[in-house]
Amino acid sequence: MADDNTYEYNPNLGNDSKKDDTGYNPNLGADDTGFNPNLGADDTGFDPGLGADDTGFNPNLGAEPKKEAPAAAAVKEEKKDLEAAPADSGKGKKKKFNSDEIAMFCDQIAMLLKGGISVYEGTYMLYSEMEDAKTKEVLRQIDLQVKENIPLYKALTATGAFPEYMVHMVEVGEKTGRLEDVMKSLAEYYERDSRVKAGLRSAIAYPMILFAVMAAIMVVLVWKILPMFERMFTELSSDVAASTENVLTAGLTAGRIIAVIICAIFAVILLVVLWSRTKSGARVLSKAANGFGPIRNIMVLMATGKFISSIALMMASGMDIREGLEREIENCDNEIVKHRIEKCLELYKNSAPFDEAVRQSGLIVGMEARLISVAAKTGGTDEIFTKLSEQYNDKTSAALGRLTTVIETTLFVVLSLMVGAVLLAVMLPLVSMISSVG
């Protein structure tokens, strides 16, 4: 009989109170954990005799290659396509998006975000569907950087195709979590900007075309038609009075001088238009335009409309008003409006409400200023600024239309008088010659 303090195990009795150190009885099979050492198992608790475990792994067959999630595999395929795509050769200037292209890009991003598609996926969709080679290259660069988890605004900056103002607003939208609203507002902002620029181009282009047509008529008249009269005059000169001859000669000379002057003016205007496309030229011409009454008023109207559009965009993005005003001072190219924005910022810094600062600075006055005050009290300031930006665009278009009409009418009258004067100077003596010969 064993001592009471000694624990013995009897295999014939099964797993009784007297059990071994492990509490295991081999005659009963697997213990409570479901493990049976007689069956054999590796350290992981896996029995190779049973085949693959629940995870689909069988150590006798070797390790199975790790499978990627379908989404991750798709992203890798996209990235391979992007990296394998032929890049732009780099010759010539880099692509710069105009207002229409920026508006379209922002509108597409806003629609993708609204549809629940992330920027991560959306940029590849825009790239893959683009046909224009230069635009496709820009979108390729954007998507490659977005795939590297670089923020969208940094990807836009790296391409050099987008203006600094737009990039900054995208940065604000990403940081405030309002990217969809910002992209939608940017699309509207650049659509309005495109309409104003189109109106400005029309105001310049139509008079230029009219002037070119009249100059061409004058050139043909002087170098093709007048020589015909001159030959007739030479043949009949022996029978013509000296006074008639002098008048005809003066008419021919005046016609040539006028034609040369018109061609010279046209050449100067063309050079000025080309110069205005440079930064220095635009700056000088802007200062010159501010000194001329009718054009100055239109320039102030355009700059004020741009400021209002920027404020509407700033409010949609959640940007701080003070920061927005400071950026507007940097971006404004009209000295009159710039001075008003500086005054508005100073008033705002001195604790004046924004609507009061706008009114007292002279940026927006009259009924429109009262609308902003009412909107500020009802919480609809962003909406009223959006409406005002549309109204200012309409005002700008109407003002440009009136200016274009005045310029076209003036050119038409002046050039018609010039052509008529030359024709009369030649035709009257010629009629007198023919009458005297007859």
Q: Mean pLDDT, to the nearest integer, of 276-303?
A: 76
**Listed residue (226, 205, 201, 217) closest to 263, CA to CA:** 217
What is residue 211's three-state secondary structure?
helix
DSSP H or E run through 287? helix 279-290
Weakest mean pLDDT among 10-19, 155-164, 273-282: 10-19
Confidence of residue 346 (pLDDT cuts 50, 70, 90): very high
**Listed residue (99, 119, 118) closest to 188, CA to CA:** 99
Give the per-residue pLDDT at 80: 53
Above 80 in pLDDT, residue 1? no
Confidence of residue 432 (pLDDT cuts 50, 70, 90): low
Q: Say if residues 100 and 194 touch (Cβ distance below 8 Å).
A: yes
Identify which has the larger pLDDT, 198 or 12: 198
Domain boundaries, the chain: 1-44, 94-192, 193-438
Contacts of 432 (CB under 8 A, 6+ apart): 240, 244
Q: Mean pLDDT, to the nearest integer, of 96-121?
A: 91
Angle, helix 242-275 to helix 279-290, in steps of 10 degrees: 120
Give the per-residue pLDDT at 285: 73
pLDDT digits (tens, 9 = 90+) for 76-94: 555 555 455 555 444 456 7
Q: Say if residues 372 and 381 touch (Cβ distance below 8 Å).
A: yes
Contacts of 325 (CB under 8 A, 6+ apart): 341, 344, 345, 348
Which CATH homologous superfamily contains domain 94-192? Type II secretion system (T2SS), domain F (1.20.81.30)
Confidence of residue 393 (pLDDT cuts 50, 70, 90): confident
Give the per-residue pLDDT at 330: 84
pLDDT digits (tens, 9 = 90+) for 129-153: 888 888 899 999 999 999 998 999 9
Identify which has the larger pLDDT, 210 or 170: 170
pLDDT digits (tens, 9 = 90+) for 165-195: 889 888 888 888 888 888 988 888 888 888 8
E strands along 341-389, which residues? none
Confidence of residue 111 (pLDDT cuts 50, 70, 90): very high
Angle, helix 381-437 to helix 367-378, in steps of 10 degrees: 160
E strands along 114-218, which residues? none
Distance (Å, rounded) from C-alpha 276 to C-alpha 155? 30
Give the per-residue pLDDT at 37: 52
Above 70 in pLDDT, residue 302? yes
Above 60 in pLDDT, residue 272? yes
Q: What angle do CA 391, 392, 397 make, to 5 degrees?
A: 100
Confidence of residue 207 (pLDDT cuts 50, 70, 90): confident
pLDDT digits (tens, 9 = 90+) for 229-248: 777 766 665 555 566 667 66
Q: Say if residues 340 and 348 touch (Cβ distance below 8 Å).
A: no
Give the per-residue pLDDT at 75: 47
What is residue 28's three-state secondary structure?
helix
Give the per-residue pLDDT at 7: 47
Give the per-residue pLDDT at 17: 44
Q: Say if residues 119 and 125 touch (Cβ distance below 8 Å).
A: no
Q: Which of 62-71, 133-142, 236-245, 296-305 has the highest mean pLDDT?
A: 133-142
**Listed residue (92, 86, 105, 93) closest to 162, CA to CA:** 105
Contacts of 386 (CB under 8 A, 6+ apart): 188, 312
Give the per-residue pLDDT at 239: 55
> What per-residue string of b and e applies to 363-390 under the rule 16 or more CB within 10 Å gives b?
bbeeebbebbeebbeeeebbebbbebbe
**Listed residue (190, 188, 184) closest to 113, CA to CA:** 184
pTM of the model: 0.62
